[in-house]
Amino acid sequence: MQVTPQIYCVYVYCAEKKHHEEWAKHHQIIKGVFTDIETICDALRRDVRRVNNDLIPISILQSTSSDQFDQLFACSLILKEFLINSACEQQEKNNFMKFCRSQHRGNSYQSNIIKKYQAKPKKLTPIQWYTRECFLYSMLNRALRLYDIEILTQIKFFVQEVNEQIQKIYSQSDQQHPQTVYHGQNITNDLLSKLQKNKKSLIS
């Protein structure tokens, strides 16, 4: 099987699973052999989420020019302040939900989640909504990755809700015994090499 950079993974849909598993196991790019639509859809949703997670940008603030370094750092701080502290208008939220419905038109799974979120947003906590297999996770990560200010302006209400919950959890935690948390993400060899060469640089 010829592999190209544009192909991330392959799923085999067939009627004879055992037969095709024999040759499929020799190709690492093949993620599985499936005989029904439901299981292949579950695998696709799981892998799409992992790919979206891996696409979260990692920026290494390195520069021989202190002026350029300060500008890069300042931009990241300005974006953070904008998302966390700027006022939210109900119309922005309405526009975002309208945009989400248009983006997922024809996708009954996501459209149903959007309806549930609009009807009862407090049914789950902001963190639970974000970590759920739904439109909020993919839309927010994509906007952050592309620095899409238009989408970030509309979704900042949700960023603020997540931030408020994190702050609340932190205030209730044991400050004398802080916990260490980890974030797993696949990265390219080139990015790994850059990280190793810039151990004392700022990473965002």
Q: How many CA atoms lie within 13 A of 64 on its CB side?
A: 0
pLDDT by residue (tens digit) across 99-133?
A: 899 988 888 989 999 999 988 888 899 999 998 87
pLDDT for the residue 125:
93
pLDDT for the residue 25:
85
Conformation bin of residue 114: beta by default, left when phi > 0, alpha when psi is -120 to 50: alpha
pLDDT for the residue 16:
87
pLDDT for the residue 113:
92
The residue among 25, 4, 9, 2 whose CA lies nearest residue 186 is 9
From CA 23, how far away is CA 95, in angstroms rounded? 49
198 close to 69: Cβ distance less than 8 angstroms? no
pLDDT for the residue 69:
56
Host H or E run for residue 75:
helix 66-85
pLDDT for the residue 67:
54
Burial 24-46 (b: 16+ CB within 10 A, else e): beeeeebbbbbeeeeebeeeeee
Domains of the chain, residue spans: 10-54, 88-173
The residue among 182, 179, 201 whose CA lies nearest residue 191 is 201
Residues of the chain with pLDDT under 70: 1-5, 52-73, 202, 204
158 close to 135: Cβ distance less than 8 angstroms? no
* pTM for the full predicted model: 0.67
Using CB atoms within 10 A of its CB, is residue 49 exposed (0-12), middle (13-18) or buried (19+)? Answer: middle
pLDDT for the residue 158:
93
